């Protein structure tokens, strides 16, 4: 599989590694980052494979809106939207819109990107691959009504895990909503990876030594994401892939009523 891929968060970590691997595989890339000067080094490195470098702060609804308009105006077809960018933070932070930052960047931004790019994605019968986290299996329930303003703000086990559970649910809901337009949705956990997100204050202090020693390099995680695009998975939409295999999602994530409720919340908060 190759074509035009829109990839978010390529300044570092898994996003930089996956952009390199997609370029090697013959993809043309649209790099989406909040700071174009920091995105430039990779754009220069992958020069022949970069169709555009677009600015978007994924914590700002207006910024995402203008980026998706720019991309949709320039590219009639998009074969892949790779929702990679994400945050794993320490102390509680809110976005410009007053929404908790993990929910904003890890859940609402991928939703808004799909909504803004659905035209060129449908035109290409394209794929939306979203980077999820197996952490969702270690939480008892998705607390939909707390996502915007969580009461549990523990690093990793609090809003990060909830936002990844939520994006799994949102993408499942979008898979249903866009089934008749031929867009394939897929979620993939890249596995524990040594990056800024997992080595800083977004990691509980007692797990930092583990992540420093045992977590894998970003290139391994990127290879798992590229593998999630393999033709052996066919065109079934809504699959969750972990360690190169299709796995069941938690029951709440595939519950149509929960998906509808969450999609309604995303629509209301982003206005799209």
Ligand X SMILES: NC(=O)c1ccc[n+]([C@@H]2O[C@H](COP(=O)([O-])OP(=O)(O)OC[C@H]3O[C@@H](n4cnc5c(N)ncnc54)[C@H](OP(=O)(O)O)[C@@H]3O)[C@@H](O)[C@H]2O)c1
Binding site for ligand X (CB under 6 A): 9, 11-15, 33-35, 57-59, 84-88, 105, 131, 133, 189-190, 192-193, 195-198, 215
CB of 207 to ligand X, least distance (A): 11
Q: Which is nearer to ligand X, 53 or 77 (by Cβ)? A: 53
CB of 57 to ligand X, least distance (A): 5
Q: Which is nearer to ligand X, 105 or 265 (by Cβ)? A: 105
CB of 181 to ligand X, least distance (A): 25
Q: What is the DSSP string of 24-64?
A: HTT-EEEEEES-HHHHHHHHHHTGGGEEEEEE--TT-HHHH
Burial class (CB in 10 A: 0-12, 13-18, 19+), 253: buried
CB of 167 to ligand X, least distance (A): 9
CB of 18 to ligand X, least distance (A): 9
Contacts of 173 (CB under 8 A, 6+ apart): 256, 259, 260, 262, 263
Q: Which is nearer to ligand X, 50 or 85 (by Cβ)? A: 85
Measured CA to CA, the distance from residue 247 to residue 187 in angstroms comes to: 10
Residue 137 DSSP symbol: G
Helix (H) or strand (E) holding 227: helix 218-227
Q: Which is nearer to ligand X, 19 or 263 (by Cβ)? A: 19
Q: Which is nearer to ligand X, 90 or 182 (by Cβ)? A: 90
Q: Which is nearer to ligand X, 36 or 122 (by Cβ)? A: 36
Kindly report the backbone phi and psi dihedral angles of residue 35, in degrees, each rounded to the nearest multiple of 5, phi listed first. Answer: -130, 100
CB of 256 to ligand X, least distance (A): 25
């Amino acid at each position: 599989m190759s074509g035009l891929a829109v990839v978010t968060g390529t300044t570092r970590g898994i996003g930089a590694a996956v952009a390199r691997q997609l370029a090697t595989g013959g993809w043309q890339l649209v790099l989406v980052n909040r700071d174009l000067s920091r995105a430039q080094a990779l754009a220069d490195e992958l020069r022949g494979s970069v169709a555009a470098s677009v600015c978007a702060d994924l914590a700002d609804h207006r910024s995402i809106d203008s980026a998706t308009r720019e991309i949709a105006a320039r590219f009639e077809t998009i074969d892949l939207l790779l929702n990679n960018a994400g945050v794993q933070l320490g102390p509680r932070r809110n976005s410009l819109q007053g929404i908790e930052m993990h929910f904003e960047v890890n859940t609402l931004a991928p939703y808004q990107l799909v909504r803004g790019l659905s035209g060129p994605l449908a035109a290409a019968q394209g794929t939306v691959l979203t980077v999820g986290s197996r952490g969702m299996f270690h939480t008892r329930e998705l607390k939909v009504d707390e996502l915007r303003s969580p009461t549990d703000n523990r690093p990793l086990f609090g809003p990060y895990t909830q936002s990844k559970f939520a994006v799994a649910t949102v993408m499942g809901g979008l898979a249903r909503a866009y089934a008749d337009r031929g867009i394939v949705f897929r979620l993939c956990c890249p596995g524990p990876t040594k990056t800024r997100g997992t080595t800083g204050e977004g990691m509980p202090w007692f797990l930092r030594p583990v992540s420093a020693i045992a977590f894998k390099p970003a290139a391994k995680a990127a290879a798992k994401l590229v593998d999630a695009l393999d033709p052996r998975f066919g065109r079934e939409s809504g699959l969750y892939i972990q360690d190169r295999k299709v796995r069941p999602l938690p029951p709440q994530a595939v519950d149509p009523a929960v998906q509808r409720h969450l999609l309604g919340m995303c629509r209301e908060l982003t206005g799209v």
